[in-house]
Amino acid sequence: MKNVKLKIYPLNLICSAKGVTFVEILIALAILAVAILPSVNVFTSFKKYTIHTEDVQTALRLAQEKIEEYRAVSYPELKALIISGQKNPEPNVQVTSQQNAAGFSYANNPDYKKFKRKITLSFLNNDENTVLITVHVWWYEGNFSAGDQRFVIQKSLLCKELVI
Amino acid sequence: MKWKTSLSIGAMRARYKKGFVIPLAIAIVSMLALTAYFTVNFSKNQDAKTFHIVNVENAKLLADAALEAGTYKVRTEMNDMGNLNPVDIVKGVVSMLSNPSSSWYLKMRVPGIVVTGGVGASTGIAGLNAEISLSPDSLGLSPTWSKQTLNAGALGITQYIRELGGDDSRTKVELTMMLKDMKPVLSDSGTVLWPGAVTDEGFLQDWIKKLGNQLFDFLGLNDIKFKIDLSQFIKGLTISIMGIPIPIGDILAGVLGNFLTVEFDLGAMLSKALESIAGQLKIGDIMPIKADVVIEKLATLAYTVRVEYVPAGSSIPIKLEVEATRDVKVVDCAAPNPLYSFYWLNKDNQTFGEEAWGRTGGGKFKVMNLNLDPDYKGKFELNDILSFFKGLFSLKIVRFPGLCHIGGAGKQKIPTGLNDLLLIYPSHTPAITMFGNYGYGKCFLPRAFFLGAPPADAIPWFPWISVPPIGVIGIVKVVKAIADKSGNNTQLFGDWCLSPPLNMKINGNVAKTYTRVDGVGFSFPVPFPPCMLGAGAYKYKCEEKGYSYSFFEKEPKAETNGMIENIYTPDQYRKKSSMCYESGGEFSSDSTIRDSGGIVKIDGVIYIEGSASVSGTFYGAGQLVVNGDLTVTGDIVHKPKDGNRIIPFSIICFGTLRTSANCRILAPVYAKNGVAIGASTHIMGNLVCEKFNPGQISRDLTVWYTPEITTSSFLSLIPYVGRYVPDRYRSVIANQFSTYKINNVKN
């Protein structure tokens, strides 16, 4: 410990010998507040990111739901949609009261109303034997019209059913 | 040591004259920095976590895609049998199984073939029976013959990796597929290529005797009789005994008298000789020839896919391993369309008598089993017949289609054969033809070609064909219906018959009664450049027989749930439909599937819920499915070929097929509840029913067996399903038949 030498500044550089204690306290509290505030923000961030993670997982589920729904459609029908130019059979649809392929309805579930979905069908490599189902799901943090736009894209491959 | 107990700030400051604001600030700033670092790091971690969640999903999607692409490859390969015929299958099975480069799915299709058959011992020759059995085991193939491993390139999903946002150069995909739990099942009753035949030696012997006698008669040999009086030879014959001449000739002539007169009846001699020769002729029964194709009807396709998905801009792979299985089944695609001209399942076991069949509902029911008219004109012309003979019994022409099958336990006594064409080729001499002409107005061909012709034949006779130059060129076995008994309405099952000089028993529940007419024909060559025509006549005598013919007869399989095997249910058709209509009216008014000429473009299944009225031209490949009654109001025309490509098209009706106007239907027709014919109807294809009532045929119904059309499957868009085509049996991993499940996912 003898190597440790505290450099002592004269107190009178920042304060006078009289009546500065209260100011010091105020300054200390201010600094403390500045230090604590980000910590408080951490909790807000925790909450924010938790919500975000939930949103991502919900979006993934909504995307997968649509993928399953479209995978259940017969291949000729998907192909016909693409050839007839209906490559976006569900463009920009707000998720509200749809029913998923399993028959589960999430009507009136406010949690889903912030999401929008778009389904795009295309041929992979222009090969008419392979359909690419692309589902975009996006949402906004906070209000629909403001804030960050978040999105999830899921793509699934469906090959032509050759036999029977 | 004395402790100061006063710790007031003022005291401290007074004592040390030093502030602690600086250390305090340093501490707080450190805390602040730590908090900021933590906050920033937390954000990054959360972003990374979100990124990871998405990429794990992408890895799963990639694994799914690998499974999908692998399955697609399997589907592509597993039924790629080319155009092998059954004989080629037997020949090629060794190379298929032993050639490592051939598709192992193809190998899977025919792991074993057993062909049995032979000739009965009644020929005097020991029966010849052959059996071939080939299997992967017997060929000593590697146990891993049914395994293959594919990467992303082989699966064709490299672009998909890029679409997912992955780095295709770093992402690895390895899909291993292997067949497990293969369960070989012998086909239920074997595929009978030839049902065998019980030959009628007596007929042949009689036939030869008659032939000989007629020939001898024709040559005049039967009339040759002569006497030889041997007494004239011995007259004057003397012998000398003890020097005494004795007129022994006169004595013998006197004693024996007429005994020395020998009469020769050449005809009788030849006849006896012929009888003796003919009596030695023996024809062995032809044993059924069966091909029991041992097919793996059940197997499990086991997948293992390993994915190392590397998102673009990253070097850290997300690893995933998925294990899945899928059932592999073998489906008999011909089962829904049994490929008979007329197939009546008759689960209710209804039996109609000859009267009911003969009179029907006022119309005639004709089944034409051999259509030579390539353009489906519905009538025969001389060129068609000539084309037929130019074919000279090539397999293409003489591939006998299914005749008809009527299910149920009871026999249907059906009058037959008014329009029979008689083709005679004794001893395999080709191009000997004779058209039956038994009674004007009762034979189709003479009436068509030689209106009002007397019962005599004009026979094309080509000099480059080896036939006897003169004389008998046709000994006929004439097939004739017993139509005379029932009048005009008995034009039923007007089969064209290629009738070899053997009698064959028919299998099944149809009593096809023929009147066999044996006789002799004469023909004389008449120069008619560039060929010779044979003109002649024949005579015959009638003999009623209960024989018929049956080629490639296949017993029907037991029905399942009252349905013809393997045919879909309405719901399944609906699910696989490309166009679905809630009513017939909705279909009729849909202009989007019709061009300006009203031609319906069909690609896949057009499903109509409820009854519908349909007519018009269809273009494309597909199936018209009506879940109700189908009323045909005009021609339903389909072009079965697009260049060399056969386009399948079939009509499936889950109610009754009705016709309200004269029409032609160019499609195989499945009418579950049978037909109600209200106008003249021609079906160019075949007719498959579960229920049927001949009383509902109030106008003429003719089914023209048309191979190109008939072989469209009711099951799918398979272009051609021949009964003896290897493609008949399809290894299927389609969703309708196959259970797919993911068994395990490991990260």
B205 within 8 A of B278, measured Cβ to Cβ: yes
B93 within 8 A of B134, measured Cβ to Cβ: yes
* A101/chain B closest Cα distance in angstroms: 14
Q: Which of residues 143-182 of B touch A (CB under 8 A)?
A: 156-157, 159-160, 163-165
Query: Does some domain include residue B733?
Result: no
Least confident range from A111-120, B178-187, B531-540: namely B531-540
Separation CA B218–CA B273 (nearest Å): 18
Residues B75 and B141 both lie in one domain:
yes
B256 within 8 A of B161, measured Cβ to Cβ: no
Separation CA B504–CA B236 (nearest Å): 65
Instruction: For A128-162, write each residue's pLDDT tens digit.
Output: 889 999 999 888 776 545 556 788 899 999 988 75
SS3 A155: strand
Question: Residue A35 and residue B730: Cβ atoms within 8 Å?
Answer: no
Question: Residue A163 and residue B79: Cβ atoms within 8 Å?
Answer: yes
DSSP letters for B113-138: EEEEEEE-GGGSSPPEEEEEE--TTT
Q: Which residues contact B108 (CB under 8 A, 6 or more apart)?
A: B78, B146, B179, B182, B296, B299, B328, B731
Instruction: For B712-741, write each residue's pLDDT tens digit.
Output: 777 666 665 555 454 556 666 766 667 788
Which of the pair, B266 or B667, is modelled with greater confidence?
A: B667
Instruction: For B103-112, write each residue's pLDDT tens digit.
Output: 444 444 433 3
Supply the pLDDT for residue B153: 92
The residue count of chain B comes to 747
Q: For residue B38, how many other CB atoms are within 10 A of its CB?
A: 15
For residue B257, give the amino acid letter: G
What are the φ/ψ torsions at residue B159 (nearest 5 degrees)? -60, -35
- CA pseudo-torsion sign B83, B88, B92, B97: positive
Domain ranges of chain A: 22-159
Task: For residue B62, name the pLDDT band (cuts at 50, 70, 90).
Answer: very high
Who among A8, A77, A163 is closest to B716 (CB)? A163
Residues B442 and B512 both lie in one domain:
yes
Residue B536 pairs with which residues in a beta bridge? B457, B523
Instruction: For B503-537, write each residue's pLDDT tens digit.
Output: 222 233 333 333 343 444 444 555 555 554 545 44
Who among A31, A127, A130 is closest to B25 (CB)? A31
Token pair 């059996």 in the structure block, residue: B131
Which chain B residues are within 8 Å of A129, Cβ to Cβ? Answer: 72
Least confident range from A118-122, B8-12, B510-514: namely B510-514
* B89/chain A closest Cα distance in angstroms: 21
Separation CA B478–CA B203 (nearest Å): 14
Average pLDDT over residues B358-385: 53
Residues B145 and B86 both lie in one domain:
yes
Residues B382 and B526 both lie in one domain:
yes
Q: Which residues contact B336 (CB under 8 A, 6 or more apart)?
A: B564, B565, B566, B567, B568, B670, B688, B713, B714, B715
Chosen from A34, A129, A157, A158 to mutate, greatest number of chain B CBs within 10 A = A157
Share of chain B above pLDDT 70, in %: 43
Which chain A residues are within 8 Å of B733, Cβ to Cβ? Answer: 163
Would you give the distance in Å from CA B706 to the centre of its chain?
12
CA-nearest residue to A23 within chain B is B21
CA-nearest residue to B32 within chain A is A35
Residues B324 and B177 both lie in one domain:
yes
Which chain B residues are within 8 Å of A24, Cβ to Cβ? Answer: 9, 19, 21
Here the contacts of B635-642 (C-beta below 8 Å, separation 24 or greater) are B635/B663, B635/B664, B635/B665, B635/B666, B636/B663, B636/B664, B636/B665, B636/B666, B636/B667, B637/B664, B637/B666, B638/B666, B638/B667, B638/B709, B640/B666, B640/B706, B640/B708, B640/B709, B640/B712, B641/B708
Q: Is pLDDT above 80 for B5?
A: no
Who among A14, A38, A76 is closest to B32 (CB)? A38
Largest separation between any pair of C-alpha atoms in chain B: 201
Least confident range from A42-51, B55-64, B465-474: namely B465-474
Structure tokens at B176: 């291993």
B508 dihedral zone (left: phi>0; alpha: psi -120 to 50; beta)? left
Least confident range from A100-104, A127-131, B41-45: namely A100-104
Which of the pair, B427 or B553, is modelled with greater confidence?
A: B553
Q: For residue B551, how many other CB atoms are within 10 A of its CB?
A: 16
Torsion angle, alpha carbons of B495, B500, B505, B509, to 10: -10
Supply the pLDDT for residue B644: 67
Q: Is pLDDT above 50 for B407?
A: yes
CA-nearest residue to A49 within chain B is B46
Q: Is pLDDT above 70 for B670?
A: yes
The residue count of chain A comes to 164
Who among B10, B38, B731 is closest to A42 (CB)? B38
CA dist B737 → A71, B606, B654 (Å) = 17, 21, 21
B86 within 8 A of B290, measured Cβ to Cβ: no
CA-nearest residue to B49 within chain A is A53
Structure tokens at B540: 């015959």
Residues B357 and B329 both lie in one domain:
no
Instruction: For B540-593, write each residue's pLDDT tens digit.
Output: 333 333 222 322 233 334 344 445 666 788 887 887 788 889 899 999 998 888
Separation CA B250–CA B256 (nearest Å): 10
Instruction: For B200-241, write each residue's pLDDT tens digit.
Output: 566 667 766 776 676 666 666 666 676 767 666 666 767 777
Torsion angle, alpha carbons of B429, B435, B438, B442, to 10: 150
* B299/chain A closest Cα distance in angstroms: 17
Question: Residue A60 and residue B57: Cβ atoms within 8 Å?
Answer: yes
Q: Which of residues 689-718 of B touch A (CB under 8 A)?
A: 715-716, 718
A79 within 8 A of A132, measured Cβ to Cβ: no
Q: Which of residues 330-359 of B touch A (CB under 8 A)?
A: 331, 333
Any idea what DSSP says for residue A112?
G
Residue B664 pairs with which residues in a beta bridge? B682
Structure tokens at A115: 């999401």
Strands, DSSP E only, in B510-656? Answer: 510-528, 531-545, 577-581, 600-609, 612-627, 630-638, 641-642, 645-646, 649-653
**Which pTM does this prediction carry?**
0.52
Separation CA B144–CA B166 (nearest Å): 33
- CA pseudo-torsion sign B686, B691, B693, B699: negative
Separation CA B556–CA B709 (nearest Å): 21
* A154/chain B closest Cα distance in angstroms: 7
| Alpha helix (H) residue ranges in B180-309 | 201-219, 231-234, 248-256, 266-279
Would you give the distance in Å from CA B438 to the centre of its chain?
34
* A93/chain B closest Cα distance in angstroms: 22
Query: Does some domain include residue B561?
Result: no
Supply the pLDDT for residue B209: 73
Separation CA B623–CA B570 (nearest Å): 12
CA-nearest residue to A160 within chain B is B72
Here the contacts of B104-108 (C-beta below 8 Å, separation 24 or greater) are B104/B145, B104/B146, B104/B147, B104/B148, B105/B74, B105/B77, B105/B78, B105/B80, B105/B731, B106/B77, B106/B78, B106/B80, B106/B81, B107/B136, B107/B145, B107/B146, B108/B78, B108/B146, B108/B179, B108/B182, B108/B296, B108/B299, B108/B328, B108/B731
Query: Does some domain include residue B59?
Result: no
| Alpha helix (H) residue ranges in chain A | 21-71, 75-83
Which of the pair, B133 or B174, is modelled with greater confidence?
A: B174
Structure tokens at B140: 């000593």
User: Which of B69-83, B170-184, B312-326 is modeled with the greatest confidence?
Assistant: B312-326
Cβ density class B357-396: b for 16+ within 10 Å, e for less: bbbbbebbbbbbbbbbbeebeeebeeeebeebbeeeeeee
Who among B17, B76, B578 is closest to A74 (CB)? B578
Largest separation between any pair of C-alpha atoms in chain A: 98
Question: Residue B39 and residue A42: Cβ atoms within 8 Å?
Answer: yes
Q: Is pLDDT above 60 for B12?
A: no
Here the contacts of B140-149 (C-beta below 8 Å, separation 24 or greater) are B141/B97, B141/B98, B144/B178, B145/B104, B145/B107, B146/B104, B146/B107, B146/B108, B146/B178, B146/B179, B146/B182, B147/B104, B147/B176, B147/B177, B147/B178, B147/B179, B148/B104, B148/B176, B148/B177, B148/B178, B149/B174, B149/B175, B149/B176, B149/B177
Token pair 């949690």 in the structure block, residue: A111
Which chain A residues are within 8 Å of B735, Cβ to Cβ? Answer: 161
B193 within 8 A of B551, measured Cβ to Cβ: no
CA-nearest residue to B61 within chain A is A156
Q: Kindly state the helix (H) or strand (E) to which residue A90 belongs, with its residue range.
A: strand A90-94
Residues B214 and B345 both lie in one domain:
no
- Residue contacts between A and B (CB atoms, under 8 Å): 148
Token pair 């799914």 in the structure block, residue: B64
Who among A21, A39, A53 is closest to B10 (CB)? A21
Who among B21, B54, B69 is closest to A27 (CB)? B21
Separation CA B493–CA B481 (nearest Å): 10
Residues B657 and B717 both lie in one domain:
yes
Among B530, B545, B560, give the residue marking a domain's end: B545
Q: Is pLDDT above 50 for B118?
A: no
Which chain A residues are within 8 Å of B61, Cβ to Cβ? Answer: 154-157
Instruction: For B645-660, write each residue's pLDDT tens digit.
Output: 678 889 999 999 999 9
Which of the pair, B370 or B509, is modelled with greater confidence?
A: B370
Chosen from B41, B72, B650 to mutate, greatest number of chain A CBs within 10 A = B72
Supply the mean pLDDT for chain B: 64
Separation CA B398–CA B499 (nearest Å): 11
Would you give the distance in Å from CA A94 to the centre of its chain?
16
SS3 B244: strand
Q: Is pLDDT above 90 for B625?
A: yes
B393 dihedral zone (left: phi>0; alpha: psi -120 to 50; beta)? left
Question: Residue A49 and residue B43: Cβ atoms within 8 Å?
Answer: yes
Supply the pLDDT for residue B269: 74
Q: Which residues contact B78 (CB under 8 A, 6 or more apart)?
A: A163, B103, B105, B106, B108, B109, B328, B730, B731, B733
Supply the pLDDT for residue B626: 96
- CA pseudo-torsion sign B564, B565, B567, B568: positive
Which of the pair, B78 or A63, is modelled with greater confidence?
A: A63
Among B279, B302, B320, give the residue marking a domain's end: B279
SS3 B553: coil
How many structural domains are present in chain B?
A: 4
Separation CA B714–CA B711 (nearest Å): 9
Who among A9, A77, A164 is closest to B22 (CB)? A9
Q: Residue B243: which domain range?
A: 201-279
Supply the pLDDT for residue B658: 96
Instruction: For B272-323, write each residue's pLDDT tens digit.
Output: 777 777 776 665 554 554 544 444 456 778 899 999 999 998 888 999 999 9
B15 within 8 A of A7, measured Cβ to Cβ: no
